[in-house]
Homo-oligomer: A and B are copies of this chain.
């Protein structure tokens, strides 16, 4: 029997094995400087943090997973996916994996978890822009140097996620009780075919439903919304159209990373429930 940590690692691997995943690295696509094998190594490296998760505080497990993930030449491969997977692994190790149990893991998080979340940014360059002017959150680009400010303001990990939720689809998911993750997991279960094909289909479905916040951060809301509409059109068209859409996003340098993170989290839930064949 695979453990929750094993299933999380496998979810990371199945996510990148699904193709086409428009704009992203996948089984058939390398990007310049970011290649398939970097995701394989990222999944392997994250293993120790994922295995620690059941018995280790949330933030510490996450930081350890990110540190291991970053031990490859591609840079930030799976930061957002791990931000979803670590609390899900804790939840799965604790009880039946439900939205309530997963939400409780986030709700019960501490200031120390928030400090470790900021420390995780020491290991990666997430290349985010300036934070919104009205936020009380320290800038994630300060990484571990933000820890004193986090402590002073007594921000828990849940507080940081709630404050980031309006602009970050992963933080929103952690705040909203993993709604899209579990919806996508249901969809993975309903589809036919091998797991990577289901992953690719669910990626496109997620992309067609909400603007990808990683695309918003890099290219603006209008582009992200347009990508969503193009995903809707591609879904209603042929497989060839989907491949053309995938090529076009790569040409435009558009990488819907948040949608990939959600796909990995959904794969984890479906694997834990034994609802996707491997």
| Residue ranges of A at the interface with B (Cβ–Cβ < 8 Å) | 1-2, 6, 9-10, 13-14, 17, 27-28, 30, 35-38, 40-41, 43-45, 47-48, 71-73, 194-196, 277-278
Q: A2-B71, A6-B47 are in contact. List 14 more A-B contacts (CB 8 A).
A: A1-B71, A2-B41, A6-B48, A9-B47, A10-B40, A10-B41, A13-B37, A13-B40, A13-B43, A13-B44, A27-B27, A28-B28, A37-B278, A38-B278
CB within 8 A of A13: which of B2, B13, B27? Answer: B13
Contact B278 A196 (CB under 8 A): no
Question: CA separation between A43 and B13, bound complex, in Å?
Answer: 10
Q: How many copies does the complex hold?
A: 2
Question: CA separation between A48 and B48, bound complex, in Å?
Answer: 11
Question: CA separation between A16 and B10, bound complex, in Å?
Answer: 15
| Least CB separation from A40: chain B residue | B13
Task: Give the dominant DSSP class at A's interface.
Answer: helix
Contact B44 A195 (CB under 8 A): no
Question: CA separation between A195 and B195, bound complex, in Å?
Answer: 25
On whether A194 and B2 interact (CB within 8 A), knowing A40-B14, A41-B10, A41-B278, the answer reads: no
| Least CB separation from A71: chain B residue | B2
Contact B44 A10 (CB under 8 A): yes
CB within 8 A of A2: which of B1, B14, B44? Answer: B44
On whether A37 and B2 interact (CB within 8 A), knowing A10-B44, A44-B13, A278-B73, the answer reads: no
Contact A194 B37 (CB under 8 A): yes
Min CB–CB distance A14 → chain B (angstroms) = 6
Give chain B residues whose Cβ lies under 8 Å from the Cβ of A2: 41, 44-45, 71
Give chain B residues whose Cβ lies under 8 Å from the Cβ of A44: 2, 6, 9-10, 13
